[in-house]
Each structure stands twice: as structure tokens, then as C-alpha cells.
């Protein structure tokens, strides 16, 4: 459960998820506008190529749905699961792609991520998919943290670039909570008394 702060009529009050507090950062309207832009970009690039979109669960369920409903082109959408993250720090642990049954060879593949942080997860996914000889692979992500990124693969399609802070909402969670929040919330840094 998260508790809304009871004080105001603000459309995006602060929220508490487990032990941490989060404040409004990007509104639902801004997220929608960013996804609109990205959908237009992908439509131009992939029209007539019947792309295969691969959403990375759990976080990308929201972005995947918002994106593909804006894409009036012939396309397929599937999901894989990769566990690589615990708590608020990227652990670097990755596992195999679970649930990928589609034939990848010769396909134009677009990996859909909720967020690219260090890039370790997306690197692992790209390596695993490259073994299946797709015609092309690109990455589309709702959020990208350029300052945290440690890989060299270009992140071609980004809805919103954000600073290196922990965020939740629009599919992103803190230990399971917060995925259902519309918009994006940023962690409130605890003040330490010197
Ligand atoms: P990376 O491997 O470091 O790029 O991390 C990718 C995964 O870590 C994402 O798919 C998220 O599940 C998780 N992650 C990274 N940053 C955040 C964040 O700010 N909030 C919630 N989850 C995050
Ligand atoms: Mg994720």
C-alpha cells in the first residue's frame, strides 16, 4: 500500500512506498506527450517492416501498451522476463530471457524497456537476441538515465531523459510498489543532520 499525503488537492501528491517517500516529477500528461513523440518516430522508421516489439517485464508492460496503441502499423508484440534488479541499486545480476517463443531470424526487433540505467540489462538482452540473427535490433525506452549509462550500445529511441535519481510510476516500482502510479515520481532524498 502507498499512502497519499492528506494535505492538498494537488493532482500528484507525495507518496510513501515501503520505507521511501517519492515526490511528483513528470506528470501523466508529459509522459503521454513523450510517448506520442516516440510513437511517431517509430511509425516512420518501421512502417511496412512488420516490427516485433519485445517488452521487458515487469516494468515495460505500461510503456508497451501505451506505445503500441499509438502505432497504427502492422506489428507484433511479445514479452520476456529478465530479473536483474533489487531495491534501489542496480545489482548487475542478469538471467536468461524467459518466455521468448517467437522466431527472431530476419525480423526487425524493437526491445521495449521501462528504464535504461547502467544498461547492463539491455546489453544482456541485445547479446541474447543477436544470437538469433534478426534483420535489425533497436531499443526504445520510456526513461533513460544518461549519467548512469555504462554501456556503448546506442539507446536509439528515448521518450524522456532523466537525471540519475531513483524513480517510480508508469510501470516502475520500488520493491513491487508504485507501478500503477500515473506519471513519474522521484525519490525524496533524506536530509541528514550534520
Ligand atoms: P540497468 O540494467 O542498470 O540498466 O537497469 C535496468 C533495470 O533496473 C530496469 O529495467 C528497472 O527494472 C531497474 N531500474 C533502474 N533504475 C530504476 C529506477 O530509477 N526505478 C525503478 N527501477 C529502476
Ligand atoms: Mg525492468
Dump pLDDT digits (tens) for 104-140: 999 999 999 999 999 988 998 998 899 899 999 999 9
d(C-alpha 115, C-alpha 113), whole Å: 5
Q: How confident is the model at residue 9 (pLDDT cuts 50, 70, 90)?
A: low
**Average pLDDT rounded to a whole number, residues 96-103:** 88
Any residues with CB less than 8 A from the CB of 1 and at least 6 apart, and which? 177
From the CB of 84, is ligand 1 less than 6 Å away? yes
| All cell numbers assigned to 49 | 517492416
Q: Whose CA is nearest to atom 15 of ligand 1?
A: 117
The runs of H, that is alpha helices, within 47-193 are 61-68, 120-130
Percent with pLDDT over 70 in the chain: 86
173 has catalytic annotation:
no
Distance 117 CA to ligand 1 centre (A): 5
Q: How confident is the model at residue 90 (pLDDT cuts 50, 70, 90)?
A: low
Q: How confident is the model at residue 167 (pLDDT cuts 50, 70, 90)?
A: very high
Q: Whose CA is nearest to atom 9 of ligand 1?
A: 115
State the pLDDT at residue 194: 54
- Residue 192 to residues 18, 27, 139, 183, 189: CA-CA distances in angstroms? 20, 29, 38, 28, 9
From the CB of 113, is ligand 1 less than 6 Å away? yes
From the CB of 85, is ligand 1 less than 6 Å away? yes
Atom of ligand 1 nearest to the CA of 90: 3
Amino acid at each position: 500500500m502507498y499512502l497519499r499525503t492528506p494535505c492538498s488537492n494537488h493532482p500528484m501528491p507525495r507518496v510513501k512506498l515501503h520505507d521511501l517517500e517519492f515526490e511528483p516529477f513528470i506528470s501523466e500528461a508529459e509522459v503521454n506527450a513523450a510517448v506520442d513523440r516516440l510513437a511517431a518516430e517509430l511509425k516512420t522508421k518501421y512502417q511496412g517492416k512488420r516490427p516485433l516489439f519485445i517488452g521487458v517485464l515487469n516494468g515495460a508492460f505500461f510503456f508497451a501498451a501505451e506505445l503500441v496503441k499509438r502505432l497504427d502499423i502492422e506489428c507484433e508484440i511479445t514479452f520476456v522476463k529478465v530479473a536483474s534488479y533489487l531495491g534501489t541499486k542496480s545489482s548487475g545480476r542478469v538471467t536468461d530471457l524467459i518466455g521468448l517463443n517467437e522466431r527472431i531470424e530476419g525480423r526487425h526487433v524493437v526491445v521495449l524497456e521501462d528504464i535504461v540505467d547502467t544498461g547492463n540489462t539491455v546489453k544482456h538482452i541485445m547479446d541474447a537476441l543477436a544470437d538469433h540473427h534478426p534483420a535489425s535490433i533497436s531499443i526504445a525506452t520510456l526513461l533513460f538515465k544518461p549519467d548512469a549509462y555504462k554501456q556503448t550500445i546506442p539507446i536509439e529511441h528515448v521518450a524522456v531523459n532523466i537525471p540519475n535519481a531513483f524513480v517510480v510510476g508508469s510501470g516502475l516500482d520500488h520493491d513491487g510498489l508504485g507501478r500503477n502510479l500515473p506519471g513519474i515520481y522521484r525519490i525524496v532524498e533524506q536530509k541528514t543532520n550534520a
